[in-house]
């Protein structure tokens, strides 16, 4: 995610977050995102959008793994 740019879809989602939701999302940032935000290379809106996208990707990966585990346990 080094210099990834936030997509418009996730920027729109970020705009709809309440201040509390935005704060919680920012608190979960890891990797290079906090550094980019801190060095003003990234706006708060872009950081939120990128974090939303990252979390959605992680959730989808987790769902796939869980589905695989469930299907294997039924065998």
Q: Could you list the residue range(s) of the whole structural domain that residue 48 is in? A: 8-73
Q: How far apart are CA 57 and CA 66, in angstroms?
A: 14
**pTM of this structure:** 0.81
Q: Is 33 a domain residue?
A: yes
Q: Is 2 a domain residue?
A: no
Q: Is 3 a domain residue?
A: no
Supply the pLDDT for residue 1.
Answer: 45
Q: Is 20 a domain residue?
A: yes
Q: What would the two tokens of residue 15 be?
A: 């705009």
For residue 71, the surrounding DSSP H or E stretch is helix 44-73
Number of domains in the chain: 1
Q: Is 54 a domain residue?
A: yes
Over the stretch 1-44, which tens digit does the pLDDT of each residue have? 446 788 999 999 999 999 999 999 999 998 888 888 888 888 99
Report the phi/psi class of residue 29: left, alpha or beta, with left for phi > 0 and alpha for psi in -120 to 50. Answer: beta
């Amino acid at each position: 995610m080094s210099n990834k740019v936030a997509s418009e879809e996730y920027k729109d989602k970020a705009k709809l977050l309440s201040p509390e939701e935005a704060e919680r999302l920012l608190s979960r940032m890891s990797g290079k995102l906090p550094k980019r935000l801190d060095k003003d290379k990234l706006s708060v809106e872009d950081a939120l959008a990128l974090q939303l996208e990252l979390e959605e990707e992680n959730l989808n990966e987790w769902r796939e793994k869980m589905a695989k585990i469930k299907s294997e346990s039924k065998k």
